Structure 1
Amino acid sequence: MATLSDVAARAGVSKSTASRALSTPALVAPATVERVLEATVELGFVPNRAARGLARGRSGIVALVVPTLSNAFFTPIIGGSQDRAAEDDLQLTVAVNALESSEDLRRFERLAREVDGMLIVAPRAADATIAHLAGLKPTILVDRELDGVDSVTADTASAFARLVHALVGEGHTRLIYIGGPDRTWQNTQREQAVAAAAGRSQVELEVLGPLLPTFEAGAGVTEEVLALEASVVLPYATDLGLGLLLNLHRAGRASWRLDPDDEGRLAVVGVPGAPMVDVDGVALGRRAMSRLAALINGLGGGPRAERLPVPVSWPQP
């Protein structure tokens, strides 16, 4: 396998000149750059990108930290981040870390020493923890906002508010919101948006939770939901809604028509066949990675919170 020394000898230049011709050609005479490039083609030499990166103090690796792999919401974010990283010639590594214990923090700090930047998905980690960790390397916080930290979020709160107004327009006057995990930024944003929209529309709102965003948790609140005698339920997450819907169906109380006068039955939004808040996780991951690449290259400017618009889809009649 050809080496840089072989290229330099073939081109009749020093090894350092050959290196500069490949890494920073603007600093080398054009004729010399041409000879070095011709030598690389003739010898089949492939520059070692990792070595070039290390010479600049970079590894070419970025990390995406998620609290778990069991939540399907994170999967498209990972996919979008990975695709976008490849476009910038970056290698993405995924680390599972809840960022809650002292050992979690030690593992994060070890990882931070090995990478050029971090994407952090940490819905429940303490604000002080996030602020500290974001100071270790260029960092983008994903789907959560914190003063002083760059972030990209999906604006689901605004989508939930639009959904409430649309349901009121359909004639619903008593709604239930089933909250997601406690101490999470997104759940707080959604609950506040739903409450504000219900207040503006002068309809009744009941709030249940906080709950884990799981099928089992949704099924577990069926009796509480039925006791509230509402006509429509807005769950924090699809899995919550699916668990509830199954039990409502078994009890003969599930409505499939979004009709507030459907004989005491309840509609559940956010599940297939019903209105849904459509978060594009791939776009969220791509945008976060694009912002991170800019930070790594010194192009980020001051800390900025960016919210991506989220549409509400309605089933076709």
Structure 2
Amino acid sequence: MIRLEDVARAAGVSKSTASRALSRPDLVAAGTRERVQRLATEMGLSLNPAARALFTGRTGTIAMVVPSLTNPYFGPILAGAQRELSTAGGHSLISSAVDGDQEIELAGGLLGHADGVLLVAPRAPEDGLRELASRIPLAVIDRPVRGLPAFLADTPRGVGRLTEHLLGLGHRRIGYVGGPHGSSLDRLRVAAATRRVRTVGGRLDVVGSESPDLDTGLRLAARWPFADEVTAVVAYSSYIALGLLIGLREQGVDVPGRMSVAAVDHLAAVGGDDGSDPLLTALRVPLEELGRAAAAALAAVPHAPPGVTRIGTDLVPGRSTGPPH
């Protein structure tokens, strides 16, 4: 079996230099780095996670913590991150945290077991996240945190475009079904929609939801929380929107004649087999791309610098929205 010492000997460098060339290539001269990496590949050097950590100080593993493993919004993010890691032979550890305290506890407990932690939609206080980042490399998704690398799907701007679409159809009083308490991006979405509505003298009515799922939409449709003047509703998730569509039609409400319905994501969008003629007006959110970008930045050496990377969304009009009657 080829060992790191064998590669170092063949390259004419010390074991420590060979280790740095593989784990911290930015610290090694280009010629030496390329020679060591080429010989490692040619000789078939393969380090398991324990050996990699011993020789290079890196495990090749990134931990990912999400608020829920059942929320379909997070699945494509995790899948994208895992695909990005696998291209370099890396791995992921995936866990869920019930609140911000558990996020910090889980991430802190991974010191020495993972090269970094990717927190998706974290709820922990910013000070706690920055303190955690002083102990282990950290990146966040779906929440801007000063001093940390953050990756966002620009849904607030997308919600602004979605609101303009509804205003252009003639709606002036719009309802918004928000997400779980503590969602920082949802507050930005509400603010973006409110600004757009006020430009034409309209109004945005907001109600919260405990869970972004189909049952929430069905429950709201059965016990309608909005005033009669509301002629369009934007939902935090496409699953809520799908529940609204089903529930409103069960109540005999014409969609979109009496009520237009739209969503902030496309995960439950329904259309033709080729994606044409979509039923639900929604934002197409590049969740897998978001996960890949964040994982690549966290796995890079050196790690990504602080700052916000925003990835745009696309508005896809569907049959669930139309002019108010």
How would you bin the TM-score normalised by the shorter chain? 0.7 to 0.9
Provide the rounded CA distance (Å) in 2 between the counterparts of 1:170 and 1:2: 67
| Residue 239, structure 1, aligned to residue 232, structure 2 | no
Provide the rounded CA distance (Å) in 2 between the counterparts of 1:67 and 1:250: 32
Per the alignment, residue 191 of structure 1 pairs with 190
Letter in 2 for 1:194: A
Q: Percent identity?
A: 29
Alignment of 1:51-130 (within 5 A): 51-101=51-101, 105-130=104-129
Note the residue ranges of structure 1 that are not aligned, 5 or more in a row.
Answer: 257-261
C-alpha distance after superposition, 1:186-227 (max 9, x if no partner): 110111111111011222321112442122222222233464
Per the alignment, residue 154 of structure 1 pairs with 153
Q: 1:47 to 1:216 in 2, by over 3 A?
A: closer
| Residue 266, structure 1, aligned to residue 270, structure 2 | no
Q: 1:6 to 1:224 in 2, by over 3 A?
A: closer
Q: Any conservation in 1 of the 2:64–2:92 contact (CA below 8 Å)?
A: yes
Provide the rounded CA distance (Å) in 2 between the counterparts of 1:126 and 1:298: 26
CA-atom RMSD in angstroms: 3.3
Provide the rounded CA distance (Å) in 2 between the counterparts of 1:229 and 1:144: 33
Q: Any conservation in 1 of the 2:20–2:56 contact (CA below 8 Å)?
A: no
Task: Report runs of 4+ in structure 1 exceeding 4 Å deviation.
Answer: 1-9, 16-27
Per the alignment, residue 206 of structure 1 pairs with 205
Q: Any conservation in 1 of the 2:209–2:216 contact (CA below 8 Å)?
A: no
| Residue 304, structure 1, aligned to residue 307, structure 2 | yes
Provide the rounded CA distance (Å) in 1 between the counterparts of 2:160 and 2:297: 28
Provide the rounded CA distance (Å) in 2 between the counterparts of 1:117 and 1:163: 36
C-alpha distance after superposition, 1:281-311 (max 9, x if no partner): 10010111122123xx12533x101111111
Letter in 2 for 1:148: G
Q: Any conservation in 2 of the 1:180–1:236 contact (CA below 8 Å)?
A: yes
Per the alignment, residue 259 of structure 1 pairs with none
Letter in 1 for 2:208: G
Provide the rounded CA distance (Å) in 2 between the counterparts of 1:60 and 1:52: 7
Provide the rounded CA distance (Å) in 1 between the counterparts of 2:280 and 2:302: 44
Provide the rounded CA distance (Å) in 2 between the counterparts of 1:128 and 1:162: 33
Number of residue-to-residue matches in the alignment: 296
Provide the rounded CA distance (Å) in 2 between the counterparts of 1:20 and 1:127: 38
Q: Any conservation in 2 of the 1:221–1:244 contact (CA below 8 Å)?
A: yes
C-alpha distance after superposition, 1:90-128 (max 9, x if no partner): 222212223434x65433311133111111013433333
| Residue 284, structure 1, aligned to residue 283, structure 2 | no
Provide the rounded CA distance (Å) in 2 between the counterparts of 1:150 and 1:228: 44
Provide the rounded CA distance (Å) in 1 between the counterparts of 2:151 and 2:5: 45
Q: Any conservation in 2 of the 1:80–1:284 contact (CA below 8 Å)?
A: yes
Indicate the SS of the match to 1:120.
strand
**TM-fit CA distance, 1:162:** 0.8
User: What is the TM-score when the length of structure 1 is the normalising length?
Assistant: 0.80
Q: 1:227 to 1:24 in 2, by over 3 A?
A: closer
Q: Any conservation in 1 of the 2:122–2:140 contact (CA below 8 Å)?
A: no
Provide the rounded CA distance (Å) in 1 between the counterparts of 2:240 and 2:159: 15
C-alpha distance after superposition, 1:63-87 (max 9, x if no partner): 1111211000011001110111122
Structure number, greater radius of gyration: 1
Q: 1:290 to 1:188 in 2, by over 3 A?
A: same
Provide the rounded CA distance (Å) in 1 between the counterparts of 2:192 and 2:53: 45
Q: Any conservation in 1 of the 2:81–2:295 contact (CA below 8 Å)?
A: yes
